[in-house]
Amino acid sequence: MDQSKKHVRLSGRVQGVGFRHFTKQNAQRLNINGWVKNLPDGDVEAVFVGEEDNVNKMLEEMKKGPRSARVDDLSVDESSDKLDETFSGFSVRH
Protein backbone atom coordinates (compact mmCIF):
# COMPACT_ATOMS: atom_id res chain seq x y z
CA MET A 1 0.00 0.00 0.00
CA ASP A 2 1.21 3.47 -0.84
CA GLN A 3 1.82 5.95 1.93
CA SER A 4 0.00 9.24 1.66
CA LYS A 5 0.89 12.48 3.46
CA LYS A 6 -1.50 15.42 3.65
CA HIS A 7 -1.26 18.79 5.37
CA VAL A 8 -4.83 19.99 5.91
CA ARG A 9 -6.39 23.28 6.97
CA LEU A 10 -10.08 23.61 7.83
CA SER A 11 -12.16 26.70 8.37
CA GLY A 12 -15.71 27.26 9.57
CA ARG A 13 -17.05 26.47 13.03
CA VAL A 14 -14.20 24.10 13.85
CA GLN A 15 -13.01 25.26 17.28
CA GLY A 16 -14.85 24.69 20.55
CA VAL A 17 -16.89 21.85 19.03
CA GLY A 18 -14.68 18.84 19.87
CA PHE A 19 -12.98 18.83 16.47
CA ARG A 20 -9.52 17.85 17.71
CA HIS A 21 -10.88 14.96 19.77
CA PHE A 22 -13.04 13.84 16.81
CA THR A 23 -9.98 13.99 14.55
CA LYS A 24 -7.80 11.99 16.96
CA GLN A 25 -10.46 9.26 17.36
CA ASN A 26 -10.83 8.87 13.59
CA ALA A 27 -7.08 8.92 13.01
CA GLN A 28 -6.56 6.13 15.55
CA ARG A 29 -9.42 4.10 14.05
CA LEU A 30 -7.90 4.47 10.57
CA ASN A 31 -4.31 3.85 11.73
CA ILE A 32 -3.14 7.33 10.71
CA ASN A 33 -0.15 9.12 12.21
CA GLY A 34 0.25 12.87 12.52
CA TRP A 35 -1.28 15.68 14.56
CA VAL A 36 -4.08 18.23 14.81
CA LYS A 37 -4.16 21.68 16.40
CA ASN A 38 -6.22 24.84 16.68
CA LEU A 39 -4.81 27.95 15.01
CA PRO A 40 -5.06 31.48 16.45
CA ASP A 41 -7.25 32.62 13.51
CA GLY A 42 -9.98 30.06 14.34
CA ASP A 43 -8.97 27.43 11.77
CA VAL A 44 -7.83 23.88 12.50
CA GLU A 45 -4.61 22.47 11.02
CA ALA A 46 -3.68 18.79 10.74
CA VAL A 47 -1.16 16.43 9.21
CA PHE A 48 -2.21 12.92 8.19
CA VAL A 49 0.22 10.14 7.27
CA GLY A 50 -0.93 6.63 6.44
CA GLU A 51 -2.16 4.28 3.75
CA GLU A 52 -3.65 6.24 0.88
CA ASP A 53 -7.14 4.71 1.23
CA ASN A 54 -7.21 5.49 4.95
CA VAL A 55 -6.00 9.07 4.47
CA ASN A 56 -8.73 9.60 1.85
CA LYS A 57 -11.33 8.20 4.30
CA MET A 58 -9.93 10.57 6.93
CA LEU A 59 -10.38 13.55 4.62
CA GLU A 60 -14.02 12.54 4.08
CA GLU A 61 -14.55 12.40 7.87
CA MET A 62 -12.92 15.82 8.23
CA LYS A 63 -15.32 17.36 5.70
CA LYS A 64 -18.21 16.23 7.91
CA GLY A 65 -16.62 16.96 11.29
CA PRO A 66 -18.32 16.32 14.62
CA ARG A 67 -22.05 17.02 14.86
CA SER A 68 -21.82 20.60 16.16
CA ALA A 69 -19.10 21.65 13.69
CA ARG A 70 -19.52 23.33 10.32
CA VAL A 71 -16.70 22.93 7.81
CA ASP A 72 -16.76 25.75 5.24
CA ASP A 73 -13.43 24.98 3.60
CA LEU A 74 -10.88 22.17 3.61
CA SER A 75 -7.59 22.76 1.82
CA VAL A 76 -4.97 20.06 1.24
CA ASP A 77 -1.25 20.63 0.67
CA GLU A 78 0.90 17.65 -0.33
CA SER A 79 4.17 19.59 -0.54
CA SER A 80 4.20 21.29 2.88
CA ASP A 81 7.47 21.24 4.84
CA LYS A 82 5.34 20.08 7.80
CA LEU A 83 5.22 16.66 6.11
CA ASP A 84 8.97 16.16 6.56
CA GLU A 85 8.61 15.17 10.22
CA THR A 86 8.62 11.57 11.36
CA PHE A 87 5.35 10.68 13.05
CA SER A 88 4.63 8.00 15.61
CA GLY A 89 0.97 7.85 16.52
CA PHE A 90 -1.47 10.74 16.41
CA SER A 91 -1.40 13.70 18.79
CA VAL A 92 -3.33 16.84 19.64
CA ARG A 93 -0.94 19.79 19.62
CA HIS A 94 -1.42 23.02 21.54
Q: Among residues 20, 26, 33, 54, which one is catalytic?
A: 20
Residue 37 in contact with residue 47, Cβ under 8 Å? no
Is residue 81 helix, strand or coil?
helix
Q: Return the domain boundaries, the chain.
A: 3-78
In the residue annotation, 38 being an active-site residue is answered as yes
Give Cβ neighbours of residue 18 (< 8 Å, ≥ 6 apart): 66, 68, 69
71 forms beta bridges with 12
Is residue 85 helix, strand or coil?
coil
Q: How high is the pLDDT of residue 4?
A: 95
Q: Give the type of residue at 22.
A: F
Is pLDDT of 77 > 70?
yes
Q: How confident is the model over 34-59, as a mean pLDDT? A: 98
Is pLDDT of 23 > 70?
yes
Is pLDDT of 2 > 90?
no
CATH 3.30.70.100 fits 3-78, yes or no: yes
Is pLDDT of 31 > 80?
yes
In the residue annotation, 29 being an active-site residue is answered as no
Q: pTM score, two decimals?
A: 0.94
CA-derived radius of gyration, the chain = 12
